[in-house]
Chain A
Amino acid sequence: MSALKNFNLRDKGAEIWAGWNRLTRTVFVSVFVLLIALLPFAPNWGPTSFLNTPITSFQNVLVYPMGMFVLMALGLNIVVGKSGLLDLGYIAFFAIGAYSQAILSTLFGWNTWEILPVGILLAMASGVLLGLPALRLRGDYLAIITLGFGEIVRIVALNITVTGGPNGIAGIPNPPTLFGFQFNLMYPEHFFWLVLVMIMLVIWMVRRFTVRRPGRAWEAIRQDEDVAALMGVNTLVYKLWSFVIGAAVGGFAGVIYASKVMVISPDMFKFDVSILVLACVVFGGIGNIWGVALGATLLAYLPERIRFISDARQVIFGLVLILMMNLRPDGLLPRKKREKIQEKRTM
């Protein structure tokens, strides 16, 4: 039991990774990405057919919830994991991205690629709007404000006409063909590959930040905000940035999500989705992108895989969560505990 609690796969992995040269690393990453990219075909091949989800189509499950949850969990991890700000209304940014896509495409005829930067910017702007007053507070108070914000966005969408009220918006167009890849109902695997590219982009970005000044500033703020300020970290600005970047990732995911499902309504952006994304982050290993990605993958996949037991699946899901958090309270792949490892890597 205690062996299971203490075993740190992340350290083991980092150790092995540090021992590799550039070529080995490139090959490993390429093979890994290729294997994931082949996932949509897994149900058709004997040895991996057990992965198939009953009732819902596996290819669609790969995009939503799995891909989208990984994206959102990675985005939320910047806020909660990196800089330690508890955000309980993260789904609001996803909703803002989704409604940007829905409104701009149905009313103004823009296509998804044109809306993408606008949707991201709108999510970021709402991040600033929320962050500027809210980030002066800490801990529980910040959590309550973000929770309120998440609900405000949903209730506004429920009550104004441009969002279609409780009916939402239907008839959202799919994204136009890009590099010869068509995006429509016939090709859910194309959406999956698009999401995969998005996930890789976000991971690249977070890794960049982590080893440089922003990552150190966030880490310092997370560990001791007062000392961080006294050591010269502009805490408000860096907290705001982490909020805004997290929002950008959420908006990014939202735009693509809306263009995939073609219909959105306010009840898709309820409070419990925020909590589920937060659960993904905590379950996987708060602060560690690989853990968070793994956690989101599993938590999004599991309920779909056991859908055939209908109502009991939520109970099973809850039991698995409780069991896991007891066995590994720091998550599947906990935050780095490395000593020495980093030195080898940078040399």
Chain B
Amino acid sequence: MSEKLLELKNTTIKFGGVTALNEVNFHVNRGEICALIGPNGAGKTTVFNIVTGVYPVTSGDILFKGQSISGKKRHHITKMGLARTFQNVRLFGEMTALENVITATDVHKKTGLLRALIGTPLNRREERESKARAHELLEFMGIDHRADQLAKNLPYGDQRRLEIARALGTEPELVLLDEPAAGFNPAEKVALAETIKKIRDKGYTVLLIEHDMSLIMGISDRVAVLDFGQKIADDVPTVVQNDPRVIEAYLGVPADAS
């Protein structure tokens, strides 16, 4: 059995009276592409938010590489190897594309403020290396020609690609992609699917939220379905597709059945 990279154990989160996630048990194996789907408001993005430390869990636990990460600081979790993109693009708009990625690579740097001021050889080498690495990642996402443009001036699709490049800049083991194909045309979606597979083949593990079923069914190794904060299915795509509970959650129950 493959190693569980990320594991949610009986995770519950409540916002006041609303239970956004209820006793969810869920895991991501190392090296797979796992998809998280569900109707709007099912709690998908909430999963991302509790995993990356944005919200504290109400009860239950989150394990990453076997270690509990609930209650840890956001930058600490990122440093451990977990990075994400955002449903609504949230780049550093006033920075160039390259700087956006370099900012993410900074997480593993040894030199901070004082050595930057003095300009020690190690600091200069780190600055050089992260610049090269950032170019490499932009190249990988196919947007290196945009390196010196301000992020806010990039076309929408390139902004989404830049978000992925920035997430990869933190050298994560697990990448969380929040609706990476939102607003893409069919051709772009096909290209994105290839990119996500390439990301997996490079050794990253991918957990993605997506609404486009053909994209998900094409690339995912496993699909988990959330509905009203409950996990209702978790299996290989073909099985999930035919699960009556999933169909019910998405399409509703026929009137004559009840």
Contact = CB atoms under 8 A, between A and B. Distances in A.
A339 B150 contact: yes
A224 B103 contact: no
A160 interface: no
Contacts of B169: 231
B92 A227 contact: yes
Interface string A198-241: 00000001001100111011011001101111111111000001
B95 A212 contact: no
B125 to A, nearest CB: 12
A185 B123 CA distance: 44
A342 interface: yes
B52 A230 contact: yes
A230 B84 CA distance: 8
A231 B83 contact: yes
Nearest to B92: A223
A220 B95 CA distance: 8
Contact of A229 (B75, B127, B148): B75
Nearest to A233: B75
A220 B54 contact: no
B74 interface: yes
B116 interface: yes
Interface centre among B86, B116, B127, B147 (most CB of A within 10 A): B116
Contacts of B52: 230
B245 interface: no
Contact of B95 (A223, A233, A235): A223
A110 to B, nearest CB: 26
Identify whether the interface residues of A are mostly helix, strand, loop, or mixed. Answer: helix
Interface string B134-162: 00000000000001111001000000000
Contacts of A340: 148
A227 B90 CA distance: 7
A213 B169 CA distance: 14
B112 interface: yes
B210 interface: no
Nearest to A337: B150
A212 B116 contact: yes
Interface in B55-107: 73-75, 78-79, 83-84, 86, 90-96, 99, 102-104, 106-107
A232 B108 CA distance: 9
How extensive is the interface on chain A, given as a class? 20 to 34
A252 B92 CA distance: 33
A234 B93 CA distance: 20
A219 B99 CA distance: 10
A343 interface: yes
Interface in A316-347: 335, 337, 339-340, 342-343
A235 B109 contact: no
Interface in B20-56: 52, 54
Contact of A232 (B78, B99, B116, B119): B78
Nearest to A211: B127
A219 B95 contact: yes
B92 to A, nearest CB: 5
Contact of A212 (B84, B96, B123): B123
Contact of A213 (B84, B90, B93, B111): B111
Interface of B: 52, 54, 73-75, 78-79, 83-84, 86, 90-96, 99, 102-104, 106-109, 111-113, 116-117, 119, 123, 126-127, 147-150, 153, 166, 169-170
Counting from the closest, the 3 A-B pairs by CB-CB distance are A232-B107, A232-B78, A229-B74
Interface of A: 205, 208-209, 212-214, 216-217, 219-220, 223-224, 226-235, 241, 335, 337, 339-340, 342-343
